[in-house]
Each structure stands twice: as structure tokens, then as C-alpha cells.
Structure 1
């Protein structure tokens, strides 16, 4: 039976949501299901369908983050069923739906459809919500980057940066994303001085907001390791890989999808050092981890099969190299 929440229950559910949303911003995901499901129970009891939908959307995002796409789609669908066009806040809630759906589609490698969904979120969202629109622009940049269109990616990353700077002069997570993402574009362009500059800016923002134990610093250190490998500073590369591995060991749930990257960069370092057997083992671990993260038919697997095949070839295992080159081609 639905009804109004008591004052005590209202305080409790507000605490659950505030704590969950704060942990989400900190990339600390372990407690999210408990907190969101507790809040969901209260909103169902009170008959607040809009907030029920928001809790379901948050659960969908949680499952997307941990690469459980089946449950992500299930919770997103349940949230959609809660939304009624007559509800106050309908437009903003549907913008959330499009945004999360776009992220789920991107996780599946359906980049064109993902882009369409994020663009729908942009059209629906209040343009005065600068922070949310900055996040949309950032993710559109991500999608273009995934598709290899770095010029378009750079344009949308810059739009995101301009919006978040209009929103606040203080350090913000969106500014850290910008520095990270643009550093990778500069890397692809061979502008290595800017890569290092922007990675250090990314790390500084993360430290300013959350301190040196912030989980997302794992990605910063992985990219620093890759930068130093690319520039031949192998000791520095090894140092930052060790740093990143500590983060992953300390929080394997939140950083689950960094495991393929860790082993890829370890494999790349060993390959550059001429340790092809070690490189092969690391690339194989990267491939197996990527299959767990993305599934067996995701286009992201192409690079993992290709790396593994290159090492098999370098060690003289030509038959298995050909098999994995073929799998790389089939994943494209």
C-alpha cells in the first residue's frame, strides 16, 4: 500500500541517495546496490514513481559500470516503465534514460546508436544545466574517439570543458576527464609534450578533489606508463604500472574494466624490452580479461587479438598467430 513517507524515513532515504551519489562521483561502487535498492523500496512504498525511476536508472548505470549489460538493460527498462508524461520532471528523467541507454549501447560497441541517444539527451535536457550538458558533451567526445574520429572528439571535449568552466572555477571531475581525454588525442597525434602536460593536469585535479587514493588515478597512472613506454623510459613505465596494479588489487570491482588495459600495457612494455614470452603471457591475460569485460563479440577485442597474435608471431607460433589475426579481423 502506497503512502507518504514519515519524516524519519524521508531523512533516511535522502541520506541513502546522497551517500550513493557521492560514492558514485568518487568511483567507489561497492555499496551502491544496497543504497539504491533501499531508497527504491522507500519510494515504491510511498508511490513516488519518478524517484523510483531514478533509483532504477542508477542501478542500470551501476550494472553498466561493472559490465553486467544484461542487468543494466533490465533496470533501465524497468525505470522507463515508471515514467509518465504527466509527471513533473518528465523531460529531465527521460534525458537521464537516453544518457544511460547511450552509455550502455556504447559499452556494447553500438556507437552510432549510442551517439543518437546521447544527442537526444542533449535536446531534452535543460540547457541551463551546465554540468549535465558538460557530461553529455564529454561522452559524445568519447564515442567519436571510440570510432576513431579524433577531430570530432576534440571538438566535443572542448565543448564539455567550456561548459564546466562556465559552471565553476573550482576543480571539477569533468575538468579531469577533459585533461585525460585530450592527452590521449595528443598521444595519437604524436604531440608527446602535451600528453605529459595534460596527464599531470588530470592527476592534479583528481588529487585536489579526492586525494591521492582516488580510484580513477589508476587510469592516470596506466596512461603515464603507456606514455613512458612509448618514449623509451621503461623504468618510469614499470613504476607507474606497479602503482596502477596496486589500485586494481585494492578495488577490483570499481576498476574491473582496467584489468585488460593493465595487462596490455605490461605486455607492451615487455615487448619493447624484447621479452616476447612475457609479453605473450601478458597479452593473453589482457585478452581473457577483455572477453570477461566486453563479451566475446565486442569490436574492442580486435586490438587484444591483434596484440596477442603479434607476440605469437614473434615467438614463432605462426599457426596460432594466424588464428588470432583472423579473430582480430572478425571482431572489427
Structure 2
């Protein structure tokens, strides 16, 4: 889970627009704006602790009052807050609509380069980020930063917010070096302003941890994620749901480190927190992850039980056309694939694909992943032509989304290389394997443990070609990479 910092509370400014002998009218305006201020403040407090439905209600109460008395900065701010909440509850189209309304108000009623204009650009950026249009998201986050740099000093919370959003977007596009640069800038500002034990500082630690998780540096990721956990535990009364998501991210690191008992322990703590807070979305996520964990352990019945729990919750809160339900079906498909039941696996993958197609554009991460898994099933069934068709669909989408230098591109190159290897088309297998290895080495370095699979694969291909000199070279490189990375995964 990528956590975005909340937009800071906009200070209340009481404005008297006119003075007339009618004191009752003036008093009514004053009373109305005081009431709006109270609604706004309550909504902002609830947003901070992630009580989204209640928070949304208060901002909607404040909005018409501010609009009526033409306090445009606060009106724009209400729309921005509403947009942020709508984004967080996955109501993306309405989120974009609210952000654009805020932007219209800023352009019409406020001076150029104002705080709410920047906040609106952030919300629009988050809309595009959640719809996997990362380049467009980055454009809007950059616009927000440029405005903030004109109106605030460098050491300002809003500047830190911009750096955090840019870091998150670069993380999603696997541009980890840039992501770390921006997250560390945000961290430095937050430490200076809020101190080392503030939840916003913890948020930056968490974001840095998630970048290291993306890099496969799970031990280093845990260091930062646990720093965030320590801060949240100090503020546990105000950070209930954030605490749950912290345990969730730590559990994911343990999962990738193959420390399944530690992962399960973290996930179980999350269940109790989300249950107390009646957070059905969080529960659906954690049940899904526990299902995946048991699937990996080969405990398929337990895995299926948890995945079906997640499905029941997702159907209840989201209905039949939601990406989370598609994710559940994908994971059940993975389960049956591991059970060597490709027919049922294919049924679930296609159910997931249909959901994704109903609600997403063709160039989406989820559709690409579904195509890839369907290709895996056809490869398992030795239906090479169908497998290659789906793999190439995946490759096309991922190139559109990420460009050429990305882990997801490397991943599909592996699948295509395996297909050509099985068909004994060794030159094509070698081409895709080397392309995939080049990407990994450019991102991680030449001896990172993620390169081991490719080095072994290329060694195997050279062996099949009877090129034993290159075979030995690549197997030795894989062995060396494995040795220097032992116990650091």
C-alpha cells in the first residue's frame, strides 16, 4: 500500500464582504462561516485518522456554506478535500470531477499560483496515478511543486507533500533512484518541521521502505518500515488504521523473505486492528494476502478459505465490477495453477480479465497481468501459439505503461524466453533472456540476486546450443551472484 500524506489544513480566514445597517444579516454570515469552519475542522480531523465516510459528510456540510458567502479559498479547499477522500475510497471519476471544480474556482476567483490550485493538481495527479497513467500523474505533481516553490519556503510541509507524491509516482514506474531522492527530501523537511517521531515523518520512512521493497532489498525495507511502526505505536490512539497498514507492509516484506511465520504474525495483528475499526476494505486486503501466503506454503484449502472470505467482503462493499474482486479471482487462478489444474485456473483468470476490461482502459496493469497469467496456462498446456499471443499483448501494454527499462518488461521477457526455450528456438530464447537481464542489471546492478534466474536461464540456453564455454561462464556468474547475496535477500 502506497500511502499519500494528507493535504494540510487550510487556516480559516473570516471575511466580511459587506457592511450594512442590517446587523442580523451580518450576524447570520458570521454564524454560518463559524459553523462551516467547525464542519471543516471536524472533517479534517476525521480525514487524518482515515474515517473517510464521516469526514466526507462534514466537508459536504461546510461546502455550500462557504460557497453561499463566497469564501472561495475555503470553497476550493472543500472540493479538494472531497476529491482526496473520493480518491482514497476508489471513487476515481468523482474525485477527478471534484478536483477540476476546485481548479475552476481557483482560476476564476483566486490569484494565480495559490495553495488550493496546487492541491487540485495533486488530486488530479492522484487520479491519473490510480489509473496507471503515471507520466500524466507526474506532470500534475510537478505542476503542484512548481506552484508551492513560488509561494512557500523550501522547508514547508506542502513542499514535502509534493516530494512525497513525486516519489510515489516514480516508485510505481520502477524509477527507484528518483523515488528515493524525492522521499528523502520529504523526510528531511518533515524531520526539521515535525521532529523524528511525528506520523508524517513516519509516513516518509514507510515510503522509503516501500521503495526498497520494490528494489527487492527487503531487509533494508524492514528497517524503514519498522521505524514507521515505532512512530505509529507511540501515537496508536490516533493512528489505528495506519498501524494496521504498517503491519501489512511489514508482513509483505517477511513474505518475500520467505519468513512465512513472521509474515502471518504481522497479518494477524492487522486483522484485529481492521476488525475493531470495522474496516472492510482492509480486511478484504489482508484475507487476500493470507490466502496468497497459504497458497505459497502449499496449504491450498486454507488459502481458498481466506481468498473466498476476501471475495465475500469485496462483493459486499464493491459489487461485481471492482478491481479488488478481479485480484481475488487472479489469486484463485494462481492457486489452481499451482495445483496443476489449468482448466479451472484459466476460468478464474478470464473472470478477472473480464472485470478489468469492464472498468479499466486497455492499457492497464491489471489487464496486462491477466494476459500474462493466461499465457502461462497456455504454455503449461503446450499451446505455444496462444501463449505467445497473450505474452505479446502483455508486452505491448507494459511498454506503453512503463517504457523499455522496467522490471515488468523484464518479467515478460522471461516468460517469452521460456516459451522459445521449450520450443527449442534457442536464438529467440537467448535474445529475450539477454534483454531481460540487461534491464535487471541496469536497475539493480550486475550481481543482484534478481539476476540469478536470468543467468541460469542463459546458461541453460547455451548448454542446449552446445556452447559450453558460455554455459560455464553464465552458470559461474549465477553461482557468484548467489554466494554474495546469501542471507541478504
TM over 0.5: yes
Q: Does 1:237 align with 2:345?
A: yes
How far does residue 8 in structure 1 lie from its aligned partner after superposition?
7.4
How far does residue 131 in structure 1 lie from its aligned partner after superposition?
2.8
Change (3 A) 1:186 1:105: farther
Change (3 A) 1:210 1:183: same
Change (3 A) 1:54 1:130: farther
Change (3 A) 1:36 1:145: farther
How far does residue 273 in structure 1 lie from its aligned partner after superposition?
1.7
Change (3 A) 1:181 1:29: same
Question: d(CA) in 2 for partners of 1:8 and 1:206?
Answer: 41
Consecutive unaligned residues of structure 1, counting only runs of 5 or more, are none
Question: d(CA) in 2 for partners of 1:183 and 1:255?
Answer: 28
Q: 2:240 aligns with which of 101, 111, 130?
A: 130
Change (3 A) 1:247 1:20: farther
Q: Does 1:319 align with 2:430?
A: no
How far does residue 107 in structure 1 lie from its aligned partner after superposition?
0.9
Question: d(CA) in 2 for partners of 1:50 and 1:150?
Answer: 45
Q: Does 1:79 align with 2:164?
A: no
Consecutive unaligned residues of structure 2, counting only runs of 5 or more, are 1-13, 16-65, 188-202, 207-227, 441-489
Specify the alignment match of 2:198 in structure 1.
Answer: none
CA offsets, 1:186-216, max 9 Å, x none? 3333333332222112212212222233332
Task: Note the 1:1-332 alignment, pairs <5 A.
Answer: 6-7=67-68, 16=79, 20-21=83-84, 23-25=86-88, 27-43=90-106, 45-46=109-110, 49-80=114-145, 81-82=147-148, 97=162, 100-110=165-175, 118-120=203-205, 122=228, 128-135=238-245, 138=248, 144=253, 148-149=256-257, 151=259, 157=267, 160-166=270-276, 168=277, 170-253=278-361, 256-332=364-440
Secondary structure (helix, strand or coil) at the match of 1:300 reads helix
Change (3 A) 1:290 1:104: same
Question: d(CA) in 1 for partners of 2:389 and 2:425?
Answer: 13
TM-score computed with the length of structure 2 as normaliser: 0.56
Higher relative contact order (CA 8 A, sep 6+): 1
Question: d(CA) in 2 for partners of 1:31 and 1:331?
Answer: 38
Secondary structure (helix, strand or coil) at the match of 1:316 reads coil
TM-score computed with the length of structure 1 as normaliser: 0.78
The two structures, once aligned, show a CA RMSD in angstroms of: 3.9
How far does residue 236 in structure 1 lie from its aligned partner after superposition?
2.1
Specify the alignment match of 2:477 in structure 1.
Answer: none
Higher mean alpha-carbon deviation, 301-310 vs 231-240, is at 231-240
